[in-house]
Amino acid sequence: MSENLGVSELSEEQARAELARLAAELGRANTAYHTQDAPEISDAAYDNLKRRNAEIEALFPGLKRADSPSDLVGASVADGFGKITHAVPMLSLGNAFDDTDVQDFSDRIRKYLGLGKEALVFSAEPKIDGLSLSLRYEQGQLIHAATRGDGATGENVTDNARTIGDIPQVLTGAPDVLEVRGEVYMSHADFEALNERQQAEGGKVFANPRNAAAGSLRQLDPSITKSRPLRFFAYAWGDLSAPLAETQMDAIRRLAQLGFVTNPLTQECDGPESLIAHYRSIEEQRATLGYDIDGVVYKVNRQDWQGRLGFRATTPRWAIAHKFPAELAWTRLEAIDIQVGRTGALSPVARLAPVTVGGVVVSNATLHNEDYIRGLDSRGEKIRDGKDIRIGDWVQVYRAGDVIPKVADVDLTKRPDGSAPYIFPATCPECGSAAVREEGDAIRRCTGGIICPAQAVEKLKHFVARKTFDIEGLGAKQIEMFHDDADLPIRQPADIFTLRDRDASNLNRLKNRHGWGAQSADNLFAAIEEKRTIALAKLIFALGIRHVGEVGARDLALHYLDWTALTQAIDAARPAALAHRTADQAEEAERIKAKAEARRARVSDCRAAAIAGLDVPETASQCWSDLIGIDGIGATLGMSLSDALANPVERAAIDALIAHLNIVPPDAPAQDSPVAGKTVVFTGTLEKLTRAEAKARAEALGAKVSGSVSGKTDILVAGPGAGSKAKKAADLGVKTIDEDTWLALIEGL
């Protein structure tokens, strides 16, 4: 047997066999652990198997199995934490900042549910300022604990969670599978005692209880977590298939019966006035609670109504967080710097004399844009009573959403003599090109395009970012270094993929440089090689074309399925795109000129000529309509994409890049479903699905989802409140069905 060999001594064949053996053994151990009282093997033995598996996988990455135990949840791996995908995503909440927002929240729900005089009851509880944790229990046993992470996937902190006294290891009388959610936090007293201890021992002193709780929970060594006084309030559960109770309040009581600690200030409220009264009461008690809270959470009490209300993209419709006013601090504005983003946006950043805001030292803050500094909002109306912001001013800072520092106000009585209004630059501070602000736009942009080094670097950073090419070892810092490198410059994406060959024929080789070695250089080249194969959607997003974000890129990929098809279609649509813009501009001019009677005729002539003169070929119009007919893609995105591909410099860079890549088309949609190849339009309110879900399901089944009804539409799915589209469909003789019929049609697929 090979299992006594060191990992490095294994042959490929032995490694493959052993990975199979480990997968089987760990799989069996996992099943035993999760379904029976006694685990089959000890924790230490389990960890050893797991570690050996990870070591072999690291050495033979090509042999990693589809059912690799390293992807299994519920076990500790030596380095870092494993990932856990939440069965039900951990979403964030919408925010209310004043009484009006609370009233709106209630009104919105009443309208959505169609409630008349009927009572609408809420639960209200303090929003604990800690970190949320999801606990999974199977057959009453705590199986795993995961942090929120990005909402879909979190970190596996099971071993640490087991050390928290408020978290039961075993439940009696619980459903077979139960996910409990709550907040891990540290009390003020415990926090202070911990910091004193840390200081005495020369350890890290935490800025605030939240950071202390987060730092303690994310310890790699559970014995350290155990020594930290963490607590836990349970407030929700993650599995709606088996509701704990018919109302939120009953569910909380049930959690308390099961042995969880629930917050004593949780209360039932029968309307907005009652919610606000409870909010004020909690606000008054805030200082004496002994732990940090940052607001009050309101939830619709009835479970069935929560179900009907459902979710928007990232937040439930049935809950909201009523936030306390943010903590404020005053400090001196020392300078205003201008940063240039990847789209050329000039963003002013305030450099501040360091000041503590909400437990964190802040020395930078956003100033948004030109108008914000001048004291105007996006509609040109006064904010801060019209006070402008000047260098040297005494300014008020807060952290929006307790995260992003912003300059909120100015103290005019402390304004230094001889100060002058800040003059926003009209040229790019990085490349000197003109910086212009389009009519109706809040942002001033550098016109240098690819010539501007700041834009080039930011675009490259976007290209290698986590959601795009995600090249390990080539992050923002490395991009900055390589961009200005004398011997191995990376000036455009294609340069990344020629790096290895250029390095091989270079005198100043990467492996001989300070801070690099043969191993790290090889790792980088290997990471780059790995990403030569890339999904079409990621490639499109990575190009960093304005208005083409993650979702737009995915929609384009799903529609065209292939890079060549996409470029050919966009190229062909170019005349129509130009005509669209010309017509747009002419219309705009016409609107302005309508007031200046004298010149109207000339403009109309100009518009007619523009359209007639361009003589748009039929195929161009078709390609253009096809493009902007994609649901979610409009003329602005279309124009932006067309411009990017038609710009000779940009196009050359893109073509050079494409030559190095192996582009993977999106998963071919099912061919055998009843809706494959059909064009579907959703309209009205969907009750069982969100629009995004409906769209994703339909696309997975091979349907094309369009935004508007036309002769090409095969099926219109009309929910309640469908209007003009249903009428148009009837006129065109398009088949129209309701949501239930649609669900029945695609059922089981």
Residues serving a catalytic function are 127
Residue 403 found at the interface with DNA (CB under 7 A): yes
Per CB under 7 A, does 347 bind DNA? yes
- Using the CB atoms, write b or e for 49-69: b if 16+ within 10 Å: bbbbbbebbeebeebeeeebb
**Which of 63, 207, 535, 743 forms a contact with DNA (CB under 7 A)?**
207
Binding segment toward DNA, per CB under 7 A, in 14-22, 27-35, 292-300, 690-698:
690-698
In sign, the C-alpha dihedral spanning 622, 627, 629, 630 is positive
Following DSSP, what letter does each residue of 324-343 receive, concatenated?
A: PPPPEEEEEEEEEEEEE-TT
Q: Tell me, what DSSP letter sits at residue 666?
A: P
Question: Is residue 627 within the footprint of DNA (CB under 7 A)?
Answer: no
Residue with tokens 């151990």: 29
| Closest distance to DNA from the beta carbon of 521 (Å) | 26
Stretch of 125-133, 269-277, 513-521, 679-687 contacting DNA, by CB under 7 A: 679-687
Interaction of residue 684 with DNA, rule CB under 7 A:
yes
Chain position carrying tokens 């359209």? 611
Nearer to DNA by C-beta: 65 or 547?
A: 547
Q: How far apart are CA 647 and CA 653, in angstroms?
A: 10
Question: Burial, 744: exposed, middle or buried (Cβ in 10 Å; 0-12, 13-18, 19+)?
Answer: exposed
Query: What x-and-dash track marks residues 443-482 binding DNA by CB under 7 A?
Result: x--------------x------------------------
Options 122, 232, 235, 682; binder of DNA; rule CB under 7 A: 682
Distance, CA of 381 to CA of 65 (rounded, Å):
60
Candidates 294, 409, 631, 699; binder of DNA (CB under 7 A) is 631
Stretch that binds DNA, among 189-197, 228-236, 385-393, 437-445 (CB under 7 A): 437-445
493 binds DNA per the rule CB under 7 A: no
Per DSSP, what are the bridge partners of residue 436?
445
Candidate segments 38-46, 230-238, 241-249, 625-633, binder of DNA by CB under 7 A: 625-633
Q: Does 440 bind DNA (CB under 7 A)?
A: yes
Give the one residue of 100, 378, 419, 568 binding DNA; rule: CB under 7 A. Answer: 378
Using CB under 7 A, which of 633, 644, 680, 729 touches DNA?
633
Question: Is position 223 an interface residue for DNA (rule: CB under 7 A)?
Answer: no
Interface stretch with DNA, choices 277-285, 399-407, 647-655, 659-667 (CB under 7 A): 399-407
- Residue 148 amino acid letter: R
Contact yes or no for 148/154 (Cβ under 8 A): yes
DSSP 236-266: EES-TTS-S-SBHHHHHHHHHHTT----TT-
**Are the beta carbons of 356 and 370 closer than 8 angstroms?**
no
Select from 694, 708, 704, 709 the least CA-distant residue to 746.
694
Residue list 87-116, contact with DNA (CB under 7 A): 92, 95, 108
Let me know: does 131 contact 217? Beta carbons within 8 Å: yes
573: DSSP letter: H
Taking CB under 7 A as the criterion, the residue among 221, 304, 550, 740 binding DNA is 550
The verdict on 548 binding DNA (CB under 7 A) reads yes
Side chain identity at residue 28, one-letter code: R
Identify the residue among 41, 73, 442, 611 touching DNA (CB under 7 A): 442
- In the numeric block, the tokens 């907040």 are attached to 183
CB of 40 to DNA, least distance (A): 39
CB of 244 to DNA, least distance (A): 25
Shortest Å, Cβ 438 to DNA = 8
Size of the site for DNA (CB under 7 A): 68
Residue 313 makes contact with DNA by CB under 7 A: yes
63: enclosing H helix or E strand: none
* Closest to DNA by CB, 68 or 315: 315
| Parallel/antiparallel/unpaired status of strands 346-357 and 328-340 | antiparallel
How far, in Å, CA of 143 to CA of 84, rounded? 12
Residues at the interface with DNA (CB under 7 A): 92, 95, 108, 207, 211, 312-313, 339, 341-345, 347, 349, 360-366, 368-369, 372, 377-378, 400-405, 440-443, 458, 546-553, 631-638, 682-685, 690-692, 707-708, 721-725
